[in-house]
Copies of this chain bind each other. A is one copy, B any other.
């Protein structure tokens, strides 16, 4: 996926160009490289344009075969590996990375266990298992807790629970004991009230729950709780799930064992 993610970012730098994107995953044999060349050449012929082709080959022979295609080739690693070799004073291994592979059973188990934990402890369920959490995400309904937890689990293998702050917590002005005993693992997600209003409107249009007034109140009460208990928090409004995940990892001082 690395190549695909980077490509999307690169292509998004040319917002007026309407790219026709195709991904060719698992090009991991010379036969498949030949087939890819055929596919690229057909695309070139039918469009009359040389396709931009982004690759992450570490095998030099694949790159040689691909270079025969009627295309502009962008090797996503090549510009860096040489300078890294020079900086580090050693040659690279030229091995494809398998950081996340099911091929790597330990890492796979860690991710599986993290995903199971996130689902098991989603939305305030099983608070008695907060002892094994790396992070407990707190936030009002629809502040982005669940996708952020799943991202942290899948991407880094962290055990992340999430707990929805509700009227109950606000009325008492106090967090439940299950969280207080693990306060050092808690992290708050907040969100702009009008954005929250938009998101909740999708779910329950016209409801009291989705009203701007209610959203403002919820967001304000959540912030008060985070501040009273000195819980680290951030505003999710203008960040992507990936950015939120990265911020939480950084602010909580977590290190992933997947890498």
Contacts and interface: CB of A to CB of B under 8 A. Distances in A.
Interface residues of A, number: 83
A57 to B, nearest CB: 12
Given A1-B155, A1-B246, A87 B72 contact: yes
Nearest to A122: B119
Nearest to A89: B17
State the copy count for this chain.
Answer: 2
B147 A111 contact: yes
A154 B241 contact: yes
Given A5-B5, A99-B9, A243 B111 contact: no
Given A6-B6, A97-B8, A246-B1, A84 B77 contact: no
B245 A102 contact: no
A14 B237 contact: no
B246 A25 contact: yes
A92 B1 contact: no
Interface-central residue, A5, A16, A109, A115, by most chain B CB under 10 Å: A5
A101 B238 contact: yes
A47 interface: no
Interface string A1-32: 11011101111111111000101111000000
A94 B1 CA distance: 23
Contacts of A247: 25-26
Contact of A13 (B12, B58, B100, B239): B58
Given A5-B5, A8-B97, A103-B240, 6 more contacts: A6-B6, A8-B99, A26-B243, A74-B84, A102-B241, A154-B241
Interface of A: 1-2, 4-6, 8-17, 21, 23-26, 50, 52, 56, 58, 72, 74, 76-77, 79-81, 83-84, 87-88, 90, 92-95, 97-103, 105, 108-109, 111-112, 115-116, 119, 122, 144, 146-147, 150-151, 154-155, 191, 195, 198-199, 202, 236-247, 249-250, 259
26 contacts: A1-B245, A2-B9, A4-B246, A6-B6, A13-B77, A13-B92, A13-B93, A17-B88, A17-B90, A21-B259, A23-B249, A23-B250, A25-B243, A50-B87, A72-B83, A101-B240, A102-B195, A102-B238, A102-B239, A103-B238, A105-B195, A105-B198, A112-B147, A115-B146, A119-B146, A154-B241
